[in-house]
């Protein structure tokens, strides 16, 4: 397939390009400098020239806390930018995958969130990503909205890399233990997207690594596996703490766990358990470091 990827220099975008190329697709990846998604004419021209069969829309404004004071830019990228890519994809008859987030929910539910549960974003970031979903649903005839959570990978900054660094530098590390979710390895997500895009099974999907944990439990696993499997010298003593002890400008969902009903009922392979995904990442990370 001819695939166009936005946000191709980002954490997920780089792995999407890599995985899709490995599977034999003809992939054209655009980063922010090459394709300004907020420019409708530019989006139309580039998509029109390449004539992709599918657009994987990874580009997004993801600075969760900054979005609280930079509302216009968050909506410009996540809402208007998404609309532009949808219109460009529609014009050439391409399928579109819009990467969304657990932040479209308020995080107050006791149970995991289903694909068609009521959304109620609490942050500007979450609201702007939900706006992108609405525009995709409204304007696109062949779409996949894929909500994911707690994403990390080899490229760019993320929670796993930060905890690895702090775990080797600090004597003590406090990590929030009252927010739960599903860590998602970019390579596992990219493989799911590659399977999804070859079908006509359009709609909303929740795609994260299986199972769930708190940020504290995730950090425990990161440090433990690094020490046991790769002899990393961990100096930090890990301690759980509450959300209130670490106030942030943007509200974080207490419960980010998402049910994968659409994956199951449409016959797709679910993403592997988050612990296995973490171990795969650590192997890739330490192999690259050598």
Q: What is the pLDDT along the chain (290 residues), one digit of tens a residue?
A: 999 999 999 999 999 999 999 999 999 999 999 999 999 999 999 999 999 999 999 999 999 999 999 999 999 999 999 999 999 999 999 999 999 999 999 999 999 999 999 999 999 999 999 999 999 999 999 999 999 999 999 998 999 999 999 999 999 999 999 999 999 999 999 999 999 999 999 999 999 999 999 999 999 999 999 999 999 999 999 999 999 998 889 989 999 999 999 999 999 999 999 999 999 999 999 998 76
Residue 50 bears catalytic tag: no
The residue annotated as part of the active site, out of 125, 143, 185, 216, is 125
Angle of helix 215-230 relative to helix 274-289, nearest 10 degrees?
50
Please tell me the predicted confidence (pLDDT) of residue 288: 84
Residue 203, phi-psi category: left (phi > 0), alpha (psi -120 to 50), beta (remainder): left
The single-letter DSSP state of residue 252 is P
The residue ranges of every structural domain in the chain are 2-158+182-211+256-273
Look at residues 100, 99, 8 and name the one whose alpha carbon lies nearest to residue 50.
8
C-alpha–C-alpha distance, residues 115 and 190, integer Å:
19
pLDDT tens across 63-103, in order? Answer: 999 999 999 999 999 999 999 999 999 999 999 999 999 99
Of 92, 95, 83, 96, nearest in space to 37 by CA = 83
Q: Which pTM value belongs to this model?
A: 0.97
Q: Does domain 2-158+182-211+256-273 have CATH number 3.40.50.300?
A: no
The CA dihedral of 31, 35, 39, 42, to the nearest 10 degrees, is -170
3-class DSSP state for residue 273?
A: strand
Q: Which residue has the tokens 């980002």?
A: 10
What are 86's two structure tokens?
């949808």
β-sheet bridge partners, residue 203: 144
Residues 185-226: tens digit of each pLDDT: 999 999 999 999 999 999 999 999 999 999 999 999 999 999
């Amino acid at each position: 397939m001819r695939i166009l990827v936005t946000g191709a220099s980002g954490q997920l975008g780089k792995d999407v390009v890599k995985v899709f190329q490995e599977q034999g697709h003809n992939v054209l990846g655009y980063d922010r400098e090459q394709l300004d998604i907020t420019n409708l004419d530019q989006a139309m021209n580039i998509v029109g020239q390449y004539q992709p069969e599918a657009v994987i829309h990874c580009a997004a404004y993801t600075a969760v806390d900054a979005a609280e004071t930079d509302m216009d830019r968050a909506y410009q990228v996540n809402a208007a930018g998404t609309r532009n890519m949808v219109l460009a994809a529609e014009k050439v008859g391409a399928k579109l995958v819009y990467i969304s987030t657990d932040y479209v929910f308020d995080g107050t539910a006791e149970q995991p969130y289903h694909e068609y549960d009521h959304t109620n974003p609490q942050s500007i970031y979450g609201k702007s990503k939900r706006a992108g979903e609405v525009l995709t649903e409204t304007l696109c005839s062949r779409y996949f909205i894929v909500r994911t959570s707690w994403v990390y990978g080899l490229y760019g900054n993320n929670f796993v890399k930060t905890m690895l660094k702090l775990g080797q530098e600090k004597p003590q590390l406090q990590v929030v233990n009252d927010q739960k979710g599903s860590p998602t390895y970019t390579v596992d997500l990219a493989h799911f997207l590659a399977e999804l895009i070859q079908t006509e099974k359009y709609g909303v999907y929740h795609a994260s690594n299986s199972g769930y944990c708190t940020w504290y439990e995730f950090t425990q696993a990161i440090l433990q596996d690094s020490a046991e499997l790769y002899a990393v010298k961990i100096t930090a003593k890990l301690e759980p703490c509450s959300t209130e002890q670490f106030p942030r400008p943007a509200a974080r969902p207490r419960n980010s766990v998402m049910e994968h009903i659409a994956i199951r009922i449409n016959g797709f392979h679910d993403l592997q358990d988050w612990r296995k995904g973490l171990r795969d990442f650590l192997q890739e990370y330490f192999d690259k470091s050598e």
